[in-house]
Chains A and B, each alone.
Chain A
């Protein structure tokens, strides 16, 4: 399991408006491309010096590929990164302000403390 890699996906998609739209419209294709082309790129180093060891587990890949933020929360992805990206993806689909954020909260309503460990 790699919480670091889940977080890296959420972080790198969220900071790029084109990738936000791509992930919204084609989550499975975006995850496949990202894992192949970006997962091992260290952000401050040219791609030629990439890492060699980072990959998702099947559960992580599937959760990302299906926009399944409930499972992503359970897997220990960072709560702030998860929220920020998913607001970018889906807030627009709701008329009422903060309606998506409240639905997100409700879907996690079965969780009591302690929440999943987010340490990387």
Chain B
């Protein structure tokens, strides 16, 4: 059976690439501290020696459109081109190209459906910064094959938070049962409090630092019970109008497991939205 080498959850601040590669006068004052945290975070994946990355993200209205909107989608393709014109334009993100693992994609689709999730799939998927940002931070050489999993956190009606947790738990169980000798890292990114296109956007901090502190504590301690009790589709508008992305963190908490304490926890209070980084090493992984 496959080994879950690491479970990793983080935010996907799209300004990291530009900030960290800037030099001289263009380099922002927080860039060095940010890069140091990212380098430590990157090491948590490197040290786990993965063969393949399952990567959970959310298409930001790039390829997926309201005329055909999947709630949960798994990419099944031999390759994935990455990053879109408007991400190059706004964030200076580079074009990328990664390999897929169609055998793992097919397995997750089949077993995921049999487990009760009517998963959509794509045989030609261009991936966006929700997946390329963690590639840039965690595996910039982009040498490992991936299985991309997209979740709908933007286009109502959305699945409820509990459904994200259940999918996360299912992904974990399925990867552990995958008949393979591979080491699989399961990586997902989501949002903390965040406002996009609203009055609280682009402030000196995320729109709701109190929510962020609570959220970081829930994630770090695997406190799924508290998160599910306190968070709802209705309540997630309050910390910022893009905070439904927190449900991807809840999905990753499902992957990590109930009451699983993260082995690596770090955060950075930045303009616009807080950055946070979490890594769990399942006991069986070493």
Taking Cβ atoms with an 8 Å cutoff, the residues of A that contact B are: 4, 7-8, 11, 14-15, 17, 42-44, 73, 78-84, 87-88, 98, 101-102, 104-106, 108-111, 113-115, 118-120
Contact B154–A14 (Cβ < 8 Å): no
Partner of A119, one of B68, B157, B199: B157
Selected from B85, B154, B196, B237, the residue in CB contact (under 8 A) with A83 is B196
Residue of A nearest to B65 (CB): A43
Which of A8, A15, A110 has the largest count of B CB atoms less than 10 A from its CB?
A15
The answer, yes or no, to whether B117 is at the interface (CB within 8 Å) is no
Closest chain A CB from B170 CB (angstroms): 27
Residues of A within 8 A of B60 (CB): 80
B60-72 vs A, CB cutoff 8 Å, 1 = contact: the mask equals 1110011110000
Bound CA span A78–B196, Å: 10
Q: Which 6 A-B pairs have the closest CB atoms?
A: A79-B197, A83-B197, A108-B199, A101-B202, A119-B156, A82-B197
Chain B residues with CB under 8 Å of chain A are: 60-62, 65-68, 84-86, 89-90, 154-157, 195-203, 237-238, 241-242, 271
CA distance A111 to B199 in the complex (A): 7
Main secondary structure of the interface of A (DSSP, over half): helix
Say whether A15 contacts B85, CB under 8 Å.
Answer: yes
Residues from chain B with a CB closer than 8 A to the CB of A79 are 196-198, 241-242
A120/B66 contact (C-beta < 8 A), A79-B241, A88-B86, A101-B202 known: yes
Return the chain A residue nearest B157 by Cβ.
A119
Given contacts A8-B66, A42-B67, contact A108 B156 (CB under 8 A): no
Chain A residues with CB under 8 Å of B241's CB are 79, 115
Given A78-B61, A82-B197, A118-B156, also A105-B67 (CB < 8 A): no
Q: Which residues of B contact A87 (CB under 8 A)?
A: 90
CA distance A108 to B271 in the complex (A): 19
| B201 partner, pick from A4, A44, A105, beta carbons under 8 A | A105
For A43, the chain B residues whose CB sits under 8 A away are 65, 67
Contacts of A110 in B (CB 8 A): 199
Q: Which residue of B lies closest to A91 (CB)?
A: B90
Q: Evaluate contact between B90 and A88: CB separation under 8 angstroms.
A: yes
CB distance from B151 to the nearest CB of A (A): 15
The answer to whether A115 and B202 touch (CB under 8 A), given A42-B67, A82-B197, is no
Q: In the bound complex, do residue B198 and residue A111 qualify as a contact, i.e. CB atoms below 8 Å apart?
A: yes
Q: For residue B89, which residues in chain A have a CB less than 8 angstroms away from its CB? A: 17, 88
For this complex, 17 residue pairs linking A to B, each with C-beta atoms less than 8 Å apart, are: A8-B66, A11-B65, A15-B62, A15-B86, A43-B67, A44-B67, A73-B198, A78-B61, A78-B155, A80-B61, A80-B154, A83-B201, A84-B61, A104-B197, A104-B201, A115-B237, A115-B241
Kindly state the separation between the CA atoms of A42 and B68 in the bound complex, as whole angstroms: 11
With CB as the reference atom, state the residue of chain B lying closest to A97.
Answer: B28
